[in-house]
Amino acid sequence: MIALKEKKGIVLFCLILIIIAIISLAAFRMTGPMGIEDRYSTAVGLPATGDAGESTGSGFSIEGNPVLYVIVLAVLLAVGFIAYRYLPKPGEGPETGKKE
Amino acid sequence: MAHIHLEDGSFTLFFAVAWWVVALALIGIAIWLLRSRYKPDDKKIIIAAFVTAAAFAIFQVQIPIAGGVHLNLTPLIGILTGPIIGTLIVFIVNVLSAAIGHGGWGLVGANVLVNFSEVLVGYLTFHGMKRITTDLFSQAGVATFAGLFVGNIVMIAIILISGIQGVHQTQSQILAGLSLLAAVNMGVAIIEAFITGFIVAYIGKVRPDILSGEGGRK
């Protein structure tokens, strides 16, 4: 009975695997090999990242801007520090339920 | 896997902020639950730390298949830690990834939601599969397929709702393009399903206690 239950799982796994493999292979033959970013850009109609020299105009860009990266990281560090320093830690406060 | 690899500026500021707000609300709920109802023990915290490190590392490794893909291990996160701790893990992994230029800052919120859906569905499917089979490998493998499939659907939905700036394609053209992308992504899910299946089966053999409790098997 247990062996049958185990086999049921493997059969289901293999069935899903075969279906996914067929669909995925067909999709890959339509799109061809591409890098991750290029695949996304092509899918939504943006120029491939290699060709992207122009800005879309209406967007905002943090990527590639070191100053903004530093600002965002600094804000995250500050928030993390405040949360670590001032929020009660697990085990503190009214419900100290540390189990052994 | 299902991780939105678009540059900052692809979404309008409104949608970039909106997805961040939804993701932060989710994280807030997770923290509240962890503090009030599901206090994790030391073992669970250590597992969470290891899984976070592994997921972050594997995010950065590009596998040269179909031109380059990467794995997520999000269903494994769900199986080993559960969806509550998993929410925090995917947030940390996405923030650290954005910090080294893997995915835009503005897309962290959206990516957290995509990855959360993978964690949640991976966790639920893993437990649901116990009714069908006792084999840990297939439980985890099918959970991975289900999690990543739903993750791809959420990813498509988020992009369609947000729209892409500077693009003149119709919604149906974008949907067609993203469906092809999701289909290719699912091919990579096969690799991830095997890896997750073997890891869970191995853990089940040598340390079955790790799979017990939330996100595990008793």
ipTM of the complex, rounded to two decimals: 0.82
Q: Is residue B143 part of a domain?
A: yes
The answer to whether residue B147 is domain-embedded is yes
Residue B85 counted as domain residue:
yes
Q: How many domains does chain B have?
A: 1
pLDDT in tens, chain A (100 residues): 667 777 888 999 999 999 999 998 998 888 877 777 777 778 877 776 654 444 444 445 555 567 777 787 788 888 888 877 877 766 665 554 444 4
- Count CA atoms within 13 Å of residue A1 on its CB side: 0
Residues A74/A64, Cβ–Cβ less than 8 Å:
no
Size of interface A-B (CB pairs under 8 A): 169
Q: Considering CB atoms only, which of B12, B164, B193 is closest to A44?
A: B164
CB-based contacts of B167: which residues, under 8 Å, 6+ apart? A44, A45, A46, B174
Taking a C-beta distance cutoff of 8 angstroms, is the pair B11, B164 a contact? yes
Long-range CB pairs of B157-162, under 8 A, 24+ apart, other chains included: B158/B4, B158/B19, B158/B110, B158/B113, B158/B114, B159/A44, B159/B4, B159/B6, B161/B15, B162/B11, B162/B12, B162/B15, B162/B19, B162/B110
CATH number at residue B177: 1.10.1760.20
Nearest to A56 among B67, B134, B166 (CB): B166
User: The domain containing residue B202 runs over which residues?
Assistant: 13-208
Token pair for residue B7? 């540059």
B70 found inside a domain: yes
Helix axes B108-128, B136-162, angle to 10 degrees: 150
pLDDT in tens, B94-123: 988 888 777 778 889 999 999 999 999 999
Residues of B with Cβ-Cβ distance to A13 under 8 angstroms: 137-138, 141-142, 145, 193, 197
Q: How far is CA B150 from the centre of its chain?
A: 10
